[in-house]
Chains A and B, each alone.
Chain A
Amino acid sequence: DVVLTQTPPTLLATIGQSVSISCRSSQSLLHSNGNTYLNWLLQRTGQSPQPLIYLVSKLESGVPNRFSGSGSGTDFTLKISGVEAEDLGVYYCMQFTHYPRTFGGGTKLELK
């Protein structure tokens, strides 16, 4: 199975600070069709996961452009350029290049 390792597990930030979350995969997430199926999700407390980014770097509709994704192969990063209060919660990377689909362990973003 593909293991996704997210770091850090907890991130303390102030409003306006820029932060990054790393997601490293145990295998390449490049599909034979040329796509890399790596998504980022945000789960606010008591809510369902909300998709933020798909195919490594594409923003879901309605997601603010302070969110950005980058990376390739096995190494991926989510960046938030200027944290806002509504960004607090747990961030997950996930892959659906391979079966079984797998999720990272999560990164909890909290206010410092």
Chain B
Amino acid sequence: EVQLVESGGGLVQPGRSLKLSCVASGFTFSNYGMNWIRQAPGKGLEWVAYISSGSSYIYYAETVKGRFTISRDNAKNTLYLQMTSLRSEDTALYYCATYFFDYWGQGVMVTVSS
């Protein structure tokens, strides 16, 4: 059974940093590209970033480019999202999902507030 489990969220002040993790199981993680998607409270879905299986290809939404960094450790079956210079508008539930968006985690909440 495929499982994606996010962690690392919490309450953080504007301008500070936070690093999210997504641990994958039930499939060969190193063979698949991965995505981060977020959902602000009461809003729709927004794609955040993508990383290819071997980390050669990385893409970001313009809203996070230069502030967020996606990475992965295939030996640990783990996807990461390093978030810096956080803003109130980054407050959202953050999901990791597979390349084809066929599997999603349960999400982790990030709240940016003073």
Contact = CB atoms under 8 A, between A and B. Distances in A.
Given A100-B62, A101-B47, A94 B102 contact: no
Nearest to A50: B104
A105 B44 contact: yes
B50 interface: yes
B61 interface: yes
Nearest to B107: A48
Given A100-B61, A101-B35, A54 B47 contact: no
Interface string B94-110: 01000011111111000
Given A48-B95, A49-B95, A101-B47, A60 B105 contact: no
A49 B105 CA distance: 9
Interface residues of A, number: 20
Contact of B46 (A43, A50, A99, A103): A103
A67 interface: no
Contacts, number: 47
A68 interface: no
Interface residues of B, number: 19
A100 B63 CA distance: 11
Contacts of A50: 104
Nearest to B93: A48
Question: Which among A48, A54, A92 has the highest number of chain B CB atoms within 10 Å?
Answer: A48
Contact of B44 (A96, A99, A103): A103
Nearest to B62: A100
Nearest to B106: A48
Interface in A28-70: 39, 41, 43, 48-51, 54, 60
Nearest to A6: B44
B45 interface: yes
Given A99-B59, A100-B59, A100-B62, A54 B50 contact: no
A106 interface: yes
Interface of B: 35, 44-47, 50, 59-62, 95, 100-107
